[in-house]
């Protein structure tokens, strides 16, 4: 099926479709950006997609400077280097181009260029965001080259505190990009392993948002469709990297799942964040590893939700129990992981038992912990980590 170009405004202005990167200069002019800081991943800087994009901007009279001093799990050092680059270059906005790391750094740079407080004062706790000077936040255009985090349609970022290796979620409504350009042609060169990891990130957002106990029926509906898109298109995108339809549908799934998770996340992310901060493991990969263990852990409290989701995905009939629905979802995830090459245990990604106490301590205070369907304690998280390490998924009854 041919992917059609489309524009929509939910939750922000989105320009979707193959070749839409050609309209970046138009997007800059629409929001009054003439000297943007172009924040991207270092591995992308010299690739044709970035060089041709910068050439498009130059041809339109837009002078962009590149900032790419960031890493896979970006830190406060990367952030402050970006703030310095923005101020030194007298820029008037941010183009965040790349994977979740580049998008998160770019958005947080835009937040911080006019603030007098440290970034940790804007951690996503209570109404901390009100401490920021909203009028000092620079405009943002976001262009994802992976289909996972959905940061292009989000108001939050994840930055690791370089001093203590703790991931923190930074939030402000004005960090929502003014325009997101979703061009599946930009994701064609993504290797199968990264396609798989980022796709599992999108799936984890959808499932955790759907399972979160807070009331948000719009988020629930969006999460269900995002999960269906992942089910139908992630294996295709991993198998054939030039499948534009699959790439486009995965970009849609990632954006939808990120829109849904304003409702909340859960223990997949609560556990993944400290693992990523301590070991530097790709976030989406970690989410894919831990997801079935968390679903089994949450099974007593998500049966009714899983009945709806499993039926929507065509995994059960309408008469199946909640426990059967959780088992059906988990069986599908396990099959998907095997098909696309996601490891089975946290031992496979280098997590050591000696770090369980540290991971559990950080997990229970992570901002995503509060909306897990089963309340998290250091004790039950350590038990859960043991299951994730051994590969034994608890019985779902």
Using pLDDT thresholds of 50, 70 and 90, give the confidence band for residue 307: very high
The Cα diameter of the chain in Å comes to: 63
Q: What is the pLDDT of residues 125-180, one digit of tens each?
A: 999 999 999 999 999 999 999 999 999 999 999 999 988 888 899 999 999 999 99
Report residue 328 as tokens.
């059906």
pLDDT, tens only, 181-208: 999 999 998 999 999 999 999 999 999 9
Helices (H), the chain: 24-30, 48-59, 76-88, 100-112, 192-211, 217-239, 244-260, 267-279, 283-312, 322-340, 356-363, 378-390
Q: What CATH number does the domain located at 6-186 have?
A: 3.40.50.1970
**Can you tell me the distance from the alpha carbon of 299 to that of 322, in angstroms, rounded to the nearest whole number?**
8
Go through the chain and tell me how many residues it has: 397
Write the pLDDT tens digit of every residue in 337-354: 999 999 999 999 999 999
Element at 161 (helix H, strand E): strand 156-161
Supply the Cα-derived Rg of the chain in whole angstroms.
Answer: 20
Q: Give, in order, the Cα–Cα distances in Å from 337 to each of 146, 200, 288, 326, 347.
A: 18, 9, 7, 16, 16
Percent of the chain whose predicted confidence (pLDDT) is above 90:
93
Sign of the Cα torsion 38, 19, 152, 7 reads positive
What pLDDT shows up at residue 298?
98
Global pTM reads 0.94
Residue 81: predicted pLDDT = 97
Split at pLDDT 50, 70, 90, the class of 296 is very high
**CATH class, 190-390 region:** mainly alpha
Please name the residues in contact with 281: beta carbons below 8 A apart, sequence gap of 6 or more: 275, 349, 350
Q: Is the Cβ–Cβ distance between 384 and 329 less than 8 Å?
A: no
What is the spatial distance between Cα 289 and Cα 278, in angstroms, rounded to a whole number? 16
Mean pLDDT of 65-69: 97
- Domain borders along the chain are 6-186, 190-390
Tell me the pLDDT of the chain averaged across its residues: 96
pLDDT at 1 over 80: no
Distance CA 175, CA 146 (A): 19
Please give the backbone phi and psi of residue 353, each rounded to the nearest 5 degrees, phi first. -55, -30
Kindly report the backbone phi and psi dihedral angles of residue 80, in degrees, each rounded to the nearest multiple of 5, phi listed first.
-70, -30
């Amino acid at each position: 099926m041919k992917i059609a170009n489309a524009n929509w405004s939910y939750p922000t202005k989105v320009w979707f479709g193959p070749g839409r990167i050609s309209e970046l200069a138009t997007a800059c002019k629409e929001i009054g950006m003439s000297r943007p800081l172009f924040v991207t991943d270092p591995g992308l800087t010299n690739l044709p997609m970035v060089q041709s994009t910068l050439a498009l901007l130059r041809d339109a009279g837009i002078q962009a400077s590149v900032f790419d001093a960031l890493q896979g799990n970006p830190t406060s050092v990367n952030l402050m280097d970006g703030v310095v680059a923005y101020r030194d270059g007298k820029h008037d906005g941010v183009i965040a181009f790349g994977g979740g790391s580049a998008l998160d750094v770019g958005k947080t740079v835009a937040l911080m260029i006019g603030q007098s407080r440290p970034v940790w004062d804007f951690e996503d706790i209570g109404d901390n965001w009100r401490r920021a000077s909203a009028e000092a936040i620079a405009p943002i255009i976001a262009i994802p080259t992976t289909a996972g985090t959905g940061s292009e349609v989000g108001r939050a970022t994840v930055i690791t505190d370089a001093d203590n290796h703790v991931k923190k979620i930074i939030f402000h409504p004005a960090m929502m990009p003014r325009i997101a350009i979703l061009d599946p042609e930009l994701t064609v060169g993504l290797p199968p392993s990264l396609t798989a990891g980022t796709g599992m990130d999108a799936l984890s957002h959808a499932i955790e948002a759907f399972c979160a106990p807070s009331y948000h029926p719009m988020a629930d509906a969006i999460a269900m469709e995002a999960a269906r898109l992942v089910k139908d298109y992630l294996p295709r995108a991993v198998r054939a990297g030039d499948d534009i339809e699959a790439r486009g549908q995965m970009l849609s799934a990632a954006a939808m799942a990120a829109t849904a998770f304003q409702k909340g996340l859960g223990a997949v992310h609560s556990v993944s964040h400290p693992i990523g901060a301590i070991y530097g493991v790709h976030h989406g990969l970690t989410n894919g590893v831990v997801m079935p263990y968390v679903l089994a852990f949450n099974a007593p409290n998500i049966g009714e939700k899983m009945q709806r989701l499993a039926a929507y995905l065509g995994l059960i009939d309408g008469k199946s129990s909640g426990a059967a629905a959780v088992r059906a979802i988990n069986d599908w995830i396990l099959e998907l992981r095997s098909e696309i090459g996601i490891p089975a245990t946290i031992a496979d990604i280098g997590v050591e038992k000696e770090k369980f106490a540290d991971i559990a301590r950080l997990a229970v205070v992570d901002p995503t912990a509060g909306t897990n369907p089963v309340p998290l304690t250091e004790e039950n998280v350590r038990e859960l980590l043991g299951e994730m390490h051994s590969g034994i998924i608890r019985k779902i009854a």
